[in-house]
Amino acid sequence: MTSETRESLPITEQENSRTANLSSLSVTEILRLMNEEDALVAAAITKVLPQVEQAVAGIVERMHEGGRLFYIGTGTSGRLGILDAAECPPTFGVSPDLFQGVIAGGYEACYRAVEASEDDGRAAQRDLEARGFGKDDVLVGIAASGQTPYTIGAVTYARSLGAFTIAVTCAPDSPITQVAEVSIVPVVGPEVVTGSTRLKAGTGQKMVLNMLSTATLVRLGYVSGNRMSNLQARNSKLRARAVRILMAETDLDEKAAAAALNAASGDIRIALVMTRTGSSATAASEALAESKGVVTQAIKELTP
């Protein structure tokens, strides 16, 4: 391959000169080299924080008006979007509808490669229409190379509706950056295994998605300090965490906090509002419904 040909490839597809002898290395050397390459990812994210901030501001604005966020992508990128969306309800107590993940090829592509589906640019519009995607929503198109027809088609369609569009890619000046309103482009460099974007590119994308969802939901009021005040305590580990949060937020001892959680039928949001305002579980539930689950706002509504 000539140097001219190499330079015409997206950076995510170029060969990494540092790992050219990967197959002849010992396990220790492979691991050390991978670790060194992964260390480059955080530095790349640092350089795109202004774009991440711009994206979060737009997401918060849309969600204040009732909009939702949709991640969309193919292969690893699509799976990362589904993962981040799936983690939002248990962590922040929000509806599963608020953050949604869409992947080319449908549910099967979550656990089995359906790579050919990424070439169908029109399929993305159909997939979004099936979810009721509209102009008030946000679309985050995730594509490591920035060239995926399915994801580019999704962003193009979403922007035509007037929706807020964000691209997350690791390839600067790639086609998806030309169609998105905000482009977040951490340049992590060529992969340890040439073209295997589940590695550094995947790590970089996951870090960006973590920031988008977490910063958005913190700004919307679903975290108190650094505590999961809207945690869904659906197993023993999470119930124990909920009790600890109640203790920290209300100065109750462990026994009293556990009793408060029981009185709220295991819902930490209701327990926090009841404890802080002296209200009944019914009143706390109604206030939380009015505040869209934001505990601090529900407490304000019930405080004389």
Domains of the chain with bracketed CATH = 45-219 (3.40.50.10490), 236-302 (1.10.8.1080)
Q: Are 127 and 100 in contact (CB under 8 A)?
A: no
118 is catalytic: yes
pTM over the 0.85 mark: yes
Strand order across the 99-103 sheet: 99-103, 69-73, 138-142, 164-168, 182-184
Q: Are 183 and 58 in contact (CB under 8 A)?
A: no
Task: Give the residue from 77, 45, 53, 76 showing the smallest Cα distance to 189.
Answer: 45
pLDDT at 8: 76
pLDDT at 9: 85
Site of tokens 């088609």: 153
Tokens of 256: 């009293």
- Residue 270: partners with Cβ closer than 8 Å, 6 or more residues away: 264, 281, 284, 285, 288
Task: Give the pLDDT of the chain (304 residues) as one tens digit per residue.
Answer: 444 445 678 898 999 999 999 999 999 999 999 999 999 999 999 999 999 999 999 999 999 999 999 999 999 999 999 999 999 999 998 999 999 999 998 888 777 776 656 778 889 999 999 999 999 999 999 999 999 999 999 999 999 999 999 999 999 999 999 999 999 999 999 999 999 999 999 999 999 999 999 999 999 999 988 988 888 888 999 999 999 999 999 989 999 999 999 999 999 999 999 999 999 999 999 999 999 889 999 999 998 7
pLDDT at 4: 44
Site of tokens 């993305």: 124
* Phi (first) and psi of residue 86, to 5 degrees: -65, -30
Q: Are 18 and 33 in contact (CB under 8 A)?
A: yes
87 is catalytic: yes
Q: Is 71 in a helix, a strand, or coil?
A: strand
Residue 277's CB is within 10 A of a number of other CB atoms, namely 18
The catalytic residue among 37, 118, 191, 249 is 118
The catalytic residue among 13, 15, 87, 286 is 87
Rounded Cα distance between 180 and 41, Å, is: 23
pLDDT at 233: 85
Helices (H), the chain: 3-8, 27-46, 49-64, 75-92, 121-130, 149-161, 175-179, 200-219, 236-250, 254-263, 268-277, 281-290, 295-302
pLDDT at 10: 86
Rounded Cα distance between 281 and 220, Å, is: 23
pLDDT at 2: 45
Rounded Cα distance between 156 and 150, Å, is: 10
